[in-house]
Structures are given as C-alpha cells and as structure tokens.
C-alpha cells in the first residue's frame, strides 16, 4: 500500500529525531526533534485560535528553518499552505493573501516592513517567521493562545515531549488540496495553482528514485522555497528522507556558494543554470586554460589526463561529496553543458512547471542526453502537437499524477490550459526522439517568425551569445523584421581590460559577426545594443521579456 506524504514526514521526524534538520546561513540549526516540538506548539495555537483543517494559511519570507516549521505545521494540521515568493511586490502579496482567503499569514521580518495589514482585512493574525511573535491580531483567541503558548504546551505534555507524541492525521485522499502556489507571472497578478497531495507525493517519490539521498545527507538549498522547484527538490524531498538542509538566505554569489559547499560537503544541490554557468566560467575553466573563458565556444578536445584532473578539481570545488547537481528553471547554456559533460561531471536537467508540482521530465545524470531535459517522469505522459514530433517542434502537452487540480477560483484559466481528456498545455515548444528524450526549444509565446516564415527560438541564439567575450547575458528581439541582440555586458571584464564603451561595443560587434557565420541566414543578428542595467527578472531568474519586446519597434 502506497504511503501518504504526511506519513512519510511523520516517520522521518521520528526516525531522524536526533539528527539536524535545518541550518540557516550563518545562523542556528534545528534538529528534527526541535522541529517536532515547534510544530506541536503551533498546532496548539491553531486549535486555540479556532483554525480548522482546510483553512488557508499564507507564508511569505526568505528560506529558513522556521519557514519550514511554519509550512510543516500547516500541512500536518490539515490546513492548506499558501507559500508566497518573498520577492513579490507588496500589492501582489496583499492580493494573494486576500484571493486565497488566508486566515493567518506567517511573514519574514524584511517582507513585513513593506506590507500593510489594512490591505489584508480577512486575516485573523500575522505571525513573524523569525521568532513566531504575533505582530498583528484581530482575534482574542489567537492573542490568548500566543501569550499562553508555553503554559498550553506544558499542560498538554506535562512530563516530556517525545517522539511518541508526534502523531499527525494523514491526508484523507490523494486529491485533497495541500498547496496553493501562486505562479511568478510576468504580467498582471499571479494565478493560484492548486496542488493535491497526489502531486506532491508523486514528485517526492520520483526524486527519491532518481536521486536517492540517505538520512543525514547534506543538501544546499539556494532556490526560493516559495517556488515549487525549491519547495519539492530541496525541502519536501529532503525532509521526507531525513536530509540536513542548509539555507543560503539570500541570492548566493559563486563565492558564497563555494565557501558554503567547502564547509558542509553537500550530497545534492539544486539550482538555476546561471549559478553553474558562473562557477564553471569563473572558477573552473580558467584553471585549465586562462584563455578558455573567452573561447568557451571553441574549447578544444581535452585529453584524458586534463579531463580527469578537471573533474577532480570540479568535484572538490563542490565539496568533494556531491552526488548530483540538478539544474532547472531555465535553459542551460549549450557550450557550458558540453564542457561539463565532457569531464563527466554529475549534473542533470529537470524540466517542469508549477502546474505539475513541478516535475514533467528528469532523468538520472548518467542517462541524460546532451541538450535534453531527460525523459518523462514516472506517472507522466507526453506528446508534441506536431506533424513530425521528432523533427518539427510543436507545443508539449503532458498528463499524469503530477498535474494540478486547476487554478484557484479561476475556471476560465483552468479550461484554457487543460484539454477535456486531461492533457495539460505546457506553453513550451519541444521535440521528442524515439528514445523519449525531450528537447525544449523555447516558449511558444517567445517564438519569433522571420520574414521568410522560419521559426526562430531566441533562447537558442541567446545561449550562444552568452558565451561571447564581455557578454554577461542577452535578449534577442525582433525589430522591423530584423533580429537585434540586447546585451548586458560583463563590465568587470571590460574594465579589467581597460576598454572604453565604444571599444567594448566594437569588440562585442566583431564577436557577433563571427557568431553569425555559425547561424542560419534567417536567425543571424543584425545589430547589438548594450544595456546599462541588468535585465529585470522574475523570481526564478527568467528575464521579463515583455518589458523589452517592443522597445525597438
């Protein structure tokens, strides 16, 4: 008989009672028994405040041990958790709290400074995640419960709180609503994705089968857990199998990551491609040949001795105990991937979306084909809407155990994304080969059409542009039927080489001309335009394309 997610979490807490569960960046650690005790107290507070199973509880703050406690306290009580990305602007946070009909809000102190409780009239109270103090209350019962929490706890557990006291009611049905996760949409307000326990359990079990951590293994968590990628791959998977999670509580630089992994020797790291690209470009490739950083697209075939030395150096840089680095959330740079692959570094690509909680495709690192995001996850079916799915890209559709129930209070958007027979539109263009390897070409809405009618996927060109000398990141747009590359330059490199703005533009333009020789005529770049500031991003670090699409039209 298949276990239930709450049963997995309860068993893990009891089995790993004396092990460390969560450690904050430069902060305190919580053992699993500490987590259990805090959960018990919060359950008492919920009950005294008349919070009922099924009620919505919002959670907005940076990754931390107490963030995890608030999340676990909610789902083990039978309430529905509404995690909110701490990067969201205040008006979006207010909207999500109101739209989800949340009764309580757990909030990080930095987020709280910018919020207005008057804009969230439905809340009974607001609790600071940092120390669980009650910062705003509209309920006498809640105020009483928080002020007398230690006394209530002592009364319920007069002798001692032990692992035998940990007894959570498991979910009543696989279809029971567990999480409402609001997407980091690029326009307007976010949509609330309703994820049932079926989806979360399926995702967590799949992680266990493909990654396989052991109790006590260390996981570095740098992805925001308000986003479902970090929520499942790091937190829910880790806590269900007894891992020790280390939280990097701010957007980590390669230096912070390198320092952290050298100290804690993680077994698993999940991250966006940009992190890996920077580490390999800045820390690893220059150690082989300082010229290679600027010639990444033309890396010569390295011999076995250099390959072995580079792999050893890379594994050491990642802490010397790494089993797998899981990359997701955006396309991986093709040339960096070719290099990482050539030295047999253990990386894999995960592909998914919030609406699938999140996994659609993921294969173990030693089974992942180059430039592929793996094959369909267990319990998921895929198809491509194309006359020739192996050669001609079409929209990727999926269905199976991981898919959401729908969008909260939005039947129209739910009907638009789901077909009547359960197929879900991903919004991504893809091809699938006979072996089942999936190759994502780009977002349907990002696809550009050349004057001759050819489909152009800007993400593929940007991947090459980002390897050019002095290029930090890029965005390809269509202007008067011509492709223009918006470039945010690597100012550190150009200053180091003493380049003026004019010289920098000239050098990047020469590199553009060289790159065009490798591109088909219809996808060649006609012009480069430098950006003074970094591109504005979504919470998962994707560029907000819509802000730049029409700037040159």
| pLDDT tens digits, 285-300 | 777 665 444 444 345 5
Residue 313 above 90 pLDDT?
no
pLDDT score for 250: 62
Q: Which helix (H) or strand (E) holds 32?
A: helix 32-48
pLDDT score for 539: 63
Those residues with Cβ within 8 angstroms of residue 224's Cβ, 6 or more apart along the chain or in another chain: 62, 63, 85, 86, 87, 230, 539, 540
User: In degrees to the nearest 10, what's the CA dihedral of 103, 51, 179, 421?
Assistant: -100
pLDDT score for 189: 63
**So what CATH class is 458-547?**
alpha beta
Residue 553 above 80 pLDDT?
no
| pLDDT tens digits, 404-461 | 999 999 999 999 999 999 999 999 999 999 999 999 988 888 878 776 667 788 888 8
pLDDT score for 301: 53
Give burial (CB, 10 Å; 0-12/13-18/19+) of 241.
Answer: buried
- Per the structure block, which two tokens stand in for 312? 């050893």
**Burial state string for 283-295 with b = 16 or more CB within 10 A and e = fewer than 16:** bbbeebeeebbbe
Cα 49 to Cα 238: distance, rounded to the nearest angstrom: 31
Domain borders along the chain are 5-170, 238-444, 458-547
Cα 322 to Cα 365: distance, rounded to the nearest angstrom: 12
Cα 499 to Cα 489: distance, rounded to the nearest angstrom: 12
Cα 116 to Cα 90: distance, rounded to the nearest angstrom: 8
User: Which CB contacts under 8 angstroms, 24+ apart, belong to 47-50?
Assistant: 47/145, 48/141, 48/142, 48/144, 48/145, 48/152, 49/104, 49/124, 49/125, 49/139, 49/141, 49/142, 49/145, 50/139, 50/141
Q: What is the CA radius of gyration of the chain?
A: 24
Cα 326 to Cα 275: distance, rounded to the nearest angstrom: 11
- Per the structure block, which two tokens stand in for 303? 């011999």
Those residues with Cβ within 8 angstroms of residue 130's Cβ, 6 or more apart along the chain or in another chain: 64, 66, 108, 109
Global pTM reads: 0.86
- Ramachandran angles phi, psi of 121, nearest 5°: -70, -20
- Ramachandran angles phi, psi of 47, nearest 5°: -65, -45
CB neighbourhood size of 346 (10 A):
17
- Ramachandran angles phi, psi of 267, nearest 5°: -90, -35
pLDDT score for 292: 47
> Helix 32-48 crosses helix 149-156 at what angle (to 10 degrees)?
110
- Per the structure block, which two tokens stand in for 318? 């990642």
Q: Which CATH code of 3.40.50.12780, 3.40.50.360, 3.10.310.30, 3.40.50.720 fits the domain covering 238-444?
A: 3.40.50.12780
- Per the structure block, which two tokens stand in for 387? 């006359």
**So what CATH class is 5-170?**
alpha beta
Q: Which helix (H) or strand (E) holds 416?
A: helix 411-417
What is the mean predicted confidence (pLDDT) over 225-252? 90
- Per the structure block, which two tokens stand in for 543? 């560029």
Q: Are 263 and 256 in contact (CB under 8 A)?
A: no
Max CA-CA distance within the chain?
A: 79
- Do the domains 5-170 and 238-444 sit in the same CATH topology, yes or no? yes
Looking up tokens 């396989």 gives: 212
Share of the chain above pLDDT 90, in %: 65
Query: Helix, strand, or coil here: 435?
Result: coil
Query: Helix, strand, or coil here: 526?
Result: strand
| pLDDT tens digits, 392-407 | 999 999 999 999 999 9
């Amino acid at each position: 008989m298949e276990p239930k997610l709450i049963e997995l979490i309860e068993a893990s807490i009891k089995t790993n009672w004396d092990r460390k569960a969560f450690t904050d960046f430069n902060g305190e650690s919580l053992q699993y028994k500490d987590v259990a005790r805090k959960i018990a107290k919060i359950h008492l507070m919920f009950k005294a405040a008349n919070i009922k199973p099924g009620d919505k509880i919002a959670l907005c703050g940076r990754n931390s041990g107490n963030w995890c406690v608030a999340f676990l306290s909610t789902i083990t009580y039978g309430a529905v958790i509404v995690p909110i990305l701490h990067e969201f602007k205040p008006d979006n946070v207010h909207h999500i709290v109101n739209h989800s009909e949340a009764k309580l809000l757990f909030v990080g102190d930095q987020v709280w400074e910018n919020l207005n409780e008057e804009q969230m009239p439905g809340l009974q109270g607001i609790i600071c995640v940092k120390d669980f103090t009650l910062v705003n209350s509209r309920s006498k019962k809640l105020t009483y419960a928080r002020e007398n929490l230690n006394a209530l706890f002592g009364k319920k557990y007069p002798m001692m709180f032990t692992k035998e006291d940990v007894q959570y009611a498991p979910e009543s049905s696989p279809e029971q609503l567990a999480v409402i996760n609001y997407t980091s949409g690029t326009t307007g307000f976010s949509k609330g994705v309703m994820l049932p326990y079926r989806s979360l359990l399926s995702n967590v079990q799949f992680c266990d089968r493909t990654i396989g951590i052991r109790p006590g293994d260390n996981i570095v968590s740098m992805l925001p857990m308000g986003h479902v990628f970090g929520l499942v791959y790091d937190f829910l998977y880790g806590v269900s199998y007894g891992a020790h999670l280390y939280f990097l509580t701010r957007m980590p630089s390669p230096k912070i990551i390198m320092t952290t992994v050298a100290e804690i020797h993680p077994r698993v790291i999940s991250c966006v491609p940009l992190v890996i690209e920077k580490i390999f470009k800045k820390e690893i490739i220059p150690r082989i040949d300082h010229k290679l950083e600027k010639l990444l697209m033309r890396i010569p075939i390295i011999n076995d001795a250099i390959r072995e030395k580079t792999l050893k150096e890379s594994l050491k840089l990642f802490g010397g105990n790494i089993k797998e680095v899981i990359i997701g959330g955006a396309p991986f740079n093709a040339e960096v991937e070719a290099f990482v692959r050539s030295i047999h570094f253990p990386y894999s690509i995960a592909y998914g979306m919030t609406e699938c909680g999140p996994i659609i495709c993921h294969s173990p690192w030693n089974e992942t084909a180059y430039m592929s995001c793996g094959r369909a996850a267990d319990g998921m079916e895929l198809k491509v809407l194309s006359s020739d799915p192996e050669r001609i890209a079409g929209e990727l559709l999926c269905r199976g155990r991981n898919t959401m129930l729908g969008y909260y209070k939005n039947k129209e958007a739910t009907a638009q994304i789901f077909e009547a027979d359960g197929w879900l539109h991903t919004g991504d263009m893809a091809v699938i080969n006979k072996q089942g390897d999936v190759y994502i070409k780009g977002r349907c809405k990002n696809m550009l059409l050349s004057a001759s009618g050819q489909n152009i996927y800007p993400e593929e060109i940007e991947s090459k542009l980002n390897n050019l000398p002095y290029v930090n990141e890029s965005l390809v747009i269509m202007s008067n039927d011509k492709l223009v590359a918006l470039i945010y330059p690597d100012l550190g490199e150009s200053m180091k080489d003493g380049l003026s703005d004019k010289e920098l533009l000239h050098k990047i333009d020469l590199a553009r001309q060289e790159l065009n020789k490798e591109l088909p005529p219809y996808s060649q770049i006609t012009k480069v335009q430098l950006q003074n500031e970094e591109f504005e991003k979504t919470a998962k670090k994707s560029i907000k394309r819509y802000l730049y699409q029409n700037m040159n039209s």
